[in-house]
Structure 1
Amino acid sequence: MTSDATITPVNALALLRNGDAVLVDVREPDEYRAAHIPWALSMPLGQLDALLGETGIPEGRTLIFQCLKGGRGGQACLVADRAGHGAGRDIRNLLGGIEGWTASGLPVVRAEGATGPAIPIMRQVQIVVGLLVLAATLAGLSGIGWGFYLAALFGFMLAFAGFTGWCGMAMLLARAPWNR
């Protein structure tokens, strides 16, 4: 398996309809709930190795990973291959992710009331924290010394969220009216 082993949405659909493939959505649960491909199993990238070991996916089936655009799907292919889940099977990354699937006119299951893809919570966190770091850094550069300390605090909290998987900002944003 190489990191460039992709499959087009149309070819993936044919394999899924024939029962010759298993589609694994490696996006975060909130992304999956907002919109997903009908055949997809939800297995977030951070938990992929443990979840693949528990599923008992038959060896003869092609394993197709899918994310938003293809980046995390490619990472998932490498994780599965390195962990030994690729033995006896073809591992593929869905070309273009769910965006490529949708652009091909293929079916997508959307959350009730959802009209289009919402911005995932973690991207919202990245936007908010990025703007806070920018504002604090600009404050520091304009002579307000505590701005640099505030930027460092935001950086620390972002790293803490990455290491632990606990993100207070994500929890707050999940309760925001536009995310309900």
Structure 2
Amino acid sequence: MHPVIASPADIVALKEQGATFIDIRQREEWKREHIDGARSLPLDDLTAESLRLRADDTVVFYCQSGMRTRNAQEKLIAAAAPANAVIMQGGLSAWKAAGYATQVDKSQPLPLMRQVQIVAGTLVLGGTLAGALLNPLFYIVPGFVGAGLLFAGISGWCGMAKLLNVMPWNKGAS
């Protein structure tokens, strides 16, 4: 059985009918921005027991872009059973692109992986410019960052993410 995949426009009608909205992104992402009334239930924590749905319930699952919900369709169906599972096509990004409102708390830090991307990009750009304009030894910086990202991708352990996670602006995010 496959869940229904619906556009944000179709989802609005379900929202008005009282459907349960479940945001499967990480809790930090949900804290920063989510659809009003949506529950935060990260994919790793999602079980039938955590949802407690009835057969006549409808649950709408969404993530940032729709990728996580698409990849986890079978798990979402199993967790929602016996309720009707609906996956929002395009996730929160499509919801906002369609002009629908979200609850935003800009006091929350950016998601950790976006912070990693910003820092890594800044170090690579800065090291490359410094290597071209000042001294070729600065090319070590982008090389080191690239090696770190390669290691993180292969091993699943990211030293930069670990370091950023203990920064003061991320202390209240957990």
TM-score, with structure 2 as normaliser: 0.68
| Residues 67-121 of structure 1, C-alpha deviations (whole Å, 9 max, x = no match) | 111111223322223xx3243332221122111111222221111568xxx8522
Among 31, 47, 50, which residue is 1:33 paired with?
A: 31
Among 65, 90, 93, which residue is 1:96 paired with?
A: 90
**Where does residue 70 of structure 1 map in the other structure?**
66
Gaps of 5+ in 2: 128-135
Shift in Å at residue 66 of structure 1?
0.7
| Displaced runs of 4 or more, over 3 A | 126-135, 147-158
Is the CA contact 1:48–1:76 (under 8 Å) kept in the aligned structure 2? no
Change (3 A) 1:168 1:111: same
Shift in Å at residue 42 of structure 1?
0.4
CA distance in 2, matches of 1:123, 1:113: 16
Shift in Å at residue 10 of structure 1?
2.1
**Where does residue 9 of structure 1 map in the other structure?**
8
Shift in Å at residue 148 of structure 1?
8.1
CA distance in 2, matches of 1:150, 1:110: 32
Instruction: Give the 3-state SS of the residue equivalent to 1:69 in structure 2.
Output: coil
Is the CA contact 1:132–1:151 (under 8 Å) kept in the aligned structure 2? no
Among 92, 99, 117, which residue is 1:105 paired with?
A: 99
| Residues 142-178 of structure 1, C-alpha deviations (whole Å, 9 max, x = no match) | 9x99x9898666544563438xxxx5134145637xx
CA distance in 1, matches of 2:7, 2:84: 14
Is the CA contact 1:65–1:76 (under 8 Å) kept in the aligned structure 2? no
Is the CA contact 1:132–1:154 (under 8 Å) kept in the aligned structure 2? no
For 2:111, give the aligned amino acid. Answer: P
Is the CA contact 1:26–1:76 (under 8 Å) kept in the aligned structure 2? no
CA distance in 2, matches of 1:90, 1:57: 9
Instruction: Give the 3-state SS of the residue equivalent to 2:116 in structure 1.
Output: helix
Change (3 A) 1:29 1:148: same
CA distance in 2, matches of 1:62, 1:174: 40
Is the CA contact 2:21–2:60 (under 8 Å) kept in the aligned structure 1? yes
Change (3 A) 1:97 1:157: closer
For 1:32, give the aligned amino acid. Answer: W
Instruction: Give the 3-state SS of the residue equivalent to 2:82 in structure 1.
Output: coil
Matches within 5 A, 1:159-170: 159-161=155-157, 167-170=161-164
Shift in Å at residue 55 of structure 1?
3.1
**Where does residue 171 of structure 1 map in the other structure?**
165
Change (3 A) 1:9 1:174: farther
Gaps of 5+ in 1: 136-141
**Where does residue 54 of structure 1 map in the other structure?**
50
Q: How many residues align?
A: 161
**In percent, how many aligned pairs have the same letter?**
27
For 2:61, give the aligned amino acid. Answer: F
